[in-house]
């Protein structure tokens, strides 16, 4: 089950993000989130704005992610090409807990079913996420740049390419 997160879940959400940072470091990607991303203030704001979601197994959180149908300013310029220019949903800050096998795919499906056009990005060293995106309907579109200038690999899953990975 996927639902909007509530503030009482913040301690468990922070634990999931901590596990994700450890996993990323162990799999060759120590820099994308470093030791403190996402900061607790950002997560709290995501929850208060209704954009933080949790994937639950009973009352235990399997995964957490940001989802909103909105334009992301960092997606305004891409070296490459988006699949289309239609309104889209964005997924950011997705993290899966230690017992969350298959949870990311459920989160992606949840978001896709709500808008049919998703964009996401990841670090070049985040090979597990790149594989996960490829297995779950996303097409690599090019490189975008964060506000601080760091490059990210950009992906899109839309009805235009849904048949390619289904």
Q: What was the pLDDT predicted at 161?
A: 61
pTM of the complete model beyond 0.85: yes
Q: Per-residue pLDDT tens for 60-89?
A: 999 999 999 999 999 999 999 999 999 999
The per-residue b/e assignment along 70-106, b for 16 or more CB within 10 angstroms, e otherwise, is eebebbeebeeebbeeeebbbbbbbbbbeebeebbbb
Pinpoint the alpha helices (H) of the chain.
Answer: 10-26, 40-48, 103-115, 127-135
Q: Using the predicted structure, report yes or no on whether residue 164 has a pLDDT greater than 50.
A: no
Q: Using the predicted structure, report yes or no on whether residue 122 has a pLDDT greater than 90.
A: yes
Q: Using the predicted structure, report yes or no on whether residue 104 has a pLDDT greater than 80.
A: yes
Higher pLDDT, 16 or 164: 16
d(CA 30, CA 34): 6
Q: Using the predicted structure, report yes or no on whether residue 165 has a pLDDT greater than 90.
A: no
């Amino acid at each position: 089950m996927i639902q909007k997160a509530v503030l009482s879940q913040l301690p468990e959400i922070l634990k999931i993000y901590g596990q994700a940072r450890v996993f990323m470091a162990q799999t060759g990607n120590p820099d994308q989130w470093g030791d403190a991303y996402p900061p607790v203030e950002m997560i709290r704001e995501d929850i208060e704005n209704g954009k933080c979601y949790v994937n639950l197994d009973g009352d235990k959180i399997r995964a957490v992610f940001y989802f909103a149908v909105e334009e992301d300013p960092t997606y305004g310029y891409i070296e490459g090409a988006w699949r289309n220019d239609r309104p889209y949903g964005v997924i950011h800050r997705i993290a899966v807990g230690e017992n969350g096998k298959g949870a990311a795919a459920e989160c992606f499906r949840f978001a896709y079913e709500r808008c049919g056009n998703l964009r996401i990005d990841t670090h070049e060293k985040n090979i597990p996420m790149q594989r996960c995106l490829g297995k779950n309907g996303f097409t690599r579109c090019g490189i975008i740049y964060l506000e601080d200038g760091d490059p990210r690999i950009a992906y899109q899953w839309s009805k235009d390419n849904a048949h390619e990975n289904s």
